[in-house]
C-alpha cells in the first residue's frame, strides 16, 4: 500500500480517550462481560415530547430540505436570545450577537482556527476538557496549562498565572460549572476572569454546557461587567435539553467576535437542518418545570453514585453541579487510572480516571449520572462482591 504521511498538525494528537475505551468495552461485552458504563456524560433521557413533535411535523414539509443560512434560522437565533434573557439576565441582539452551531464542540475548533497562528499561546485548565488542548494544537497554537486545585476551590490562581510571560497568550479557556470537577463559580470569579482578560488583552472563551444540571442558579459570564469587551461563550442543548445527538449549540458574544468566527465557520459547513433548528427553538422555550423534572432524576441518581463512591473509599464534595461526580481516590490507591482499571476488570463497571483531564486530575475519578438507577444499583452489588 502507498505510504501517505499525515500532516504535522496531527503529531501529538492521539485518538480521543473515550473513543478508544468504548472500543475496548465493546470487545469486553462481546466476550460476555456486560460492562456497566458510568463513564461518558451522554444523556440517556429523551428530549421533551413537544420538541420531538416539532421535528416530526417540520420534517414532513417539502420546503425544509434545502441548504440553510450560515447564520442559522432567525427563529432559533431569537429563541437563543430570549433564553439568555430569561435564564441568565443577558441581553443579546439575535441578529448580530448569536451564532447557532452544529454542537458546541465544533465551536471550540472554530474559535481556535479563527484566532490562532503558529506559536500563539492559549491558557487551558488542568484538569479540563481534553478537546481544548487538542483544538489548540490542531490550530497551530501552544496550550499552556494553568493548574486548578482542590485547595483553591478549582478556580484559577491569577497570581500564579501572572508570574508567567503572557505576551503571546491570545485565548483563555474556562468552564464553569467546571468539568470534570463540578465546581460552581464563586460570586466574584467571573468578574476576576473578565478583568484579567481586559488587563492582558486575552479573549476569554467560556464553555457553559452544564449550567442547568443540578444547579438552580444558572450563570453566564456574559452577565459580567465588561464581558462583551473580552469574552465569548459557548452553550449547548446537549445536556440541559437531552439533545446530545442532535448537535445543537451556540456561540454568543459581541457582533465583532461573531462575525470573525463566521468567516471561518462559513467555510466549514452549509447550515443545520431547519427542522432541527425549529425543534431546538421549542426546546429553549421550555419552562422551569422541565429543568426541575430533569434535575429530580439526576438528584436521585447522584445519591446512589455517592453511595457507590463511598464503597470505593473515595472522598467527594456534595455541592457539585453537572452530570458527573468528581471524587478523590483513597490514599492507598496509586491513581485514578489504577482504581478505574480495578473496577472495570474485577467488577465489570467503567468509571473514568481523572488523569485523562490532565495531570492535576490523576488522583481522582469521575462518575457519570447518565445511567438508570437500577444499573447503578447493579454496579454497587458487583463492587461489593468483587472488590
Predicted local distance difference test score (pLDDT) of residue 287 = 96
Q: Mean of the pLDDT values across residues 323-337?
A: 95
Residues 6+ apart with CB under 8 A from 248: 100, 101, 102, 103, 236, 237, 238, 272, 276, 277, 280
The torsion defined by the Cα of 285, 289, 292 and 298, in degrees rounded to 10, comes to -80
Alpha-carbon distances, residue 97 vs 52, 83, 240, 379 (angstroms):
27, 13, 22, 45
Instruction: Kindly tell me if the per-residue pLDDT of 15 is higher than 70.
Output: no
Give the CATH class of 8-46+289-386: alpha beta
Predicted local distance difference test score (pLDDT) of residue 387 = 80
What's the pLDDT band for 143 if we cut at 50, 70, 90? very high
CA atoms of 177 and 368, how far apart (whole Å): 15
Q: Mean of the pLDDT values across residues 87-107?
A: 96
The torsion defined by the Cα of 276, 281, 284 and 287, in degrees rounded to 10, comes to -120
Residues 6+ apart with CB under 8 A from 194: 204, 221, 224, 225, 226, 227, 229, 230, 231
| 127 touches 354 (CB < 8 A) | yes
C-alpha grid cell for residue 221?
459570564
Question: Tens digit of pLDDT for each residue in 215-228?
Answer: 999 999 999 999 99
What's the pLDDT band for 14 if we cut at 50, 70, 90? low
CA atoms of 73 and 280, how far apart (whole Å): 11
CA atoms of 210 and 184, how far apart (whole Å): 10
Instruction: Work out the burial of residue 59: count CB atoms within 10 Å of its CB; fewer than 13 is exposed, 13-18 middle, 19 or more buried.
Output: middle
Predicted local distance difference test score (pLDDT) of residue 16 = 66
Q: Regarding the domain delimited by 49-284, which CATH topology (the fold level of the hierarchy) does it fall under?
A: 3.40.640
Average pLDDT of the chain?
A: 94
* Same fold? 8-46+289-386, 49-284: no
Domain ranges of the chain: 8-46+289-386, 49-284
Strand order in the sheet with 315-316: 315-316, 324-328, 364-368, 352-353
What's the pLDDT band for 31 if we cut at 50, 70, 90? confident
Instruction: Kindly tell me if the per-residue pLDDT of 11 is higher than 90.
Output: no
**DSSP SS3 for 36:** strand
Amino acid at each position: 500500500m502507498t505510504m501517505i504521511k499525515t500532516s504535522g498538525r496531527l503529531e501529538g494528537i492521539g485518538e480521543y480517550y473515550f473513543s478508544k475505551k468504548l472500543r475496548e468495552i465493546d470487545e469486553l461485552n462481546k466476550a460476555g462481560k456486560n460492562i456497566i458504563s458510568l463513564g461518558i456524560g451522554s444523556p440517556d433521557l429523551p428530549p421533551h415530547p413537544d420538541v420531538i413533535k416539532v421535528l416530526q411535523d417540520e420534517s414532513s414539509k417539502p420546503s425544509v430540505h434545502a441548504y440553510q443560512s450560515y447564520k442559522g434560522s432567525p427563529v432559533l437565533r431569537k429563541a437563543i436570545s430570549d433564553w439568555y434573557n430569561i435564564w441568565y439576565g443577558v441581553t443579546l441582539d439575535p441578529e448580530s450577537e448569536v451564532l447557532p452551531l452544529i454542537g458546541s464542540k465544533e465551536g471550540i475548533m472554530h474559535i481556535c482556527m479563527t484566532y490562532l497562528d503558529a506559536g500563539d499561546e492559549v491558557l487551558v485548565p488542568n484538569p479540563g476538557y481534553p478537546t481544548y488542548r487538542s483544538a489548540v494544537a490542531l490550530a497551530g497554537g501552544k496550550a499552556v496549562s494553568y493548574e486548578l486545585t482542590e485547595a483553591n476551590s478549582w478556580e484559577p490562581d491569577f497570581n500564579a498565572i501572572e508570574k508567567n510571560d503572557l505576551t503571546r497568550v491570545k485565548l483563555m479557556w474556562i468552564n464553569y460549572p467546571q468539568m470534570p470537577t463540578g465546581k460552581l463559580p464563586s460570586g466574584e470569579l467571573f468578574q476576576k476572569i473578565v478583568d484579567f482578560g481586559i488587563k492582558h488583552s486575552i479573549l476569554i472563551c467560556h464553555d457553559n454546557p452544564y449550567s442547568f444540571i443540578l444547579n438552580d442558579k444558572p450563570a453566564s459570564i456574559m452577565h459580567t461587567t465588561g464581558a462583551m469587551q473580552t469574552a465569548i461563550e459557548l452553550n449547548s442543548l446537549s445536556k440541559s435539553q437531552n439533545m446530545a445527538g442532535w448537535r445543537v449549540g451556540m456561540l454568543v458574544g459581541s457582533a465583532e467576535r461573531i462575525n470573525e468566527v463566521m468567516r471561518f465557520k462559513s467555510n466549514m459547513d452549509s447550515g443545520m437542518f431547519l427542522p432541527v433548528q425549529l425543534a431546538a427553538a421549542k426546546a429553549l422555550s421550555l419552562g422551569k418545570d422541565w429543568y426541575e423534572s430533569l434535575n429530580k432524576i439526576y438528584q436521585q441518581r447522584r445519591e446512589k453514585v455517592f453511595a457507590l463512591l463511598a464503597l470505593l473509599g473515595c472522598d467527594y464534595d456534595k455541592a457539585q453541579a453537572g452530570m458527573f461526580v468528581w471524587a478523590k481516590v483513597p490514599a492507598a490507591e496509586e491513581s485514578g487510572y489504577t482504581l478505574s482499571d480495578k473496577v472495570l476488570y474485577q467488577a465489570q463497571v467503567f468509571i473514568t480516571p481523572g488523569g485523562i483531564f490532565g495531570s492535576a486530575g490523576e488522583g481522582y475519578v469521575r462518575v457519570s449520572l447518565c445511567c438508570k438507577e437500577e444499573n447503578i444499583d447493579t454496579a454497587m452489588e458487583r463492587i461489593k462482591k468483587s472488590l
